[in-house]
Amino acid sequence: MPGHRRAEATPSFERLCPAMTVQMPMTQHRRITGQLVIATHNPGKLAEMRELLTPHGVEAVSAGELGLGEPDETGNSFAANARIKAAAAATAARLPAFADDSGLAVDALDGAPGIYSARWAGVAKDFNAAMARIERLLRERGATQASQRRAHFVSALCVAWPDGHVEEVEARADGTLVWPPRGTAGFGYDPMFLPDGHTRTFGEMTSIEKHGLPPLGMGLSHRARAFVKLAEICLD
């Protein structure tokens, strides 16, 4: 229109000041060196975590061996609870600390027991009772077909340093719940968990088969899968 001046688009900051364009630094991962505290009092988890670390030449000592207490797991996620445990051990021992928080999430139970997986076993850590509870709840919901019994294990791993730096990863393993439980290997809910693509439960597999990494094992477990991620950023 006559007398009308079309407004020009405002030049971008990069066009006005190309030399001042800010490049955000990439996150710097920290490598694990020296002694490492495994922040768990669970014998099963301790054995698995030591087996995963051994090929990397990491000198590991457990929180129990150092006489460290167990912090209250007040987080609302696996990652939050792993961070709580790792940070508490790192602060108390003045050493880097490695923690896992993991559990079983059942689709038909809206993700339960989830972060409360260990608590469902009670103070006696009776996972036979915990598995029976899950089976009872599934049957109450009419979940008798394999397609109705989908579940997955989750593992959140965290390495914390005394100065507050943390490295965190998470992974899962999908499968179906069977009844009755099968096998006596592993621990926790392993005997009722049938991983996708396999005919044996975690409870029927050797530790190498379940969480051993290639070429010795297939790295099937949630913890092995999470550890692969962690090794890529923190280990040689």
Where in the sequence numbering do the catalytic residues fall? 101
Cis before 215 (ω within 30): yes
> Where does residue 164 fall: left (phi above 0), alpha (psi -120 to 50 degrees), or beta otherwise?
left
Q: Quick one: the chain helix, strand, coil %, rounded to 5? A: 35, 20, 45
* Strands, sheet with 166-177, edge to edge from the N-terminal-most edge strand: 59-62, 35-38, 97-106, 150-160, 166-177, 193-195
- The total of other beta-carbon atoms located within 10 Å of residue 132's CB is 15
Q: Contact, 142 vs 148, CB < 8 A?
A: yes
CB 87 within 8 A of CB 160: yes
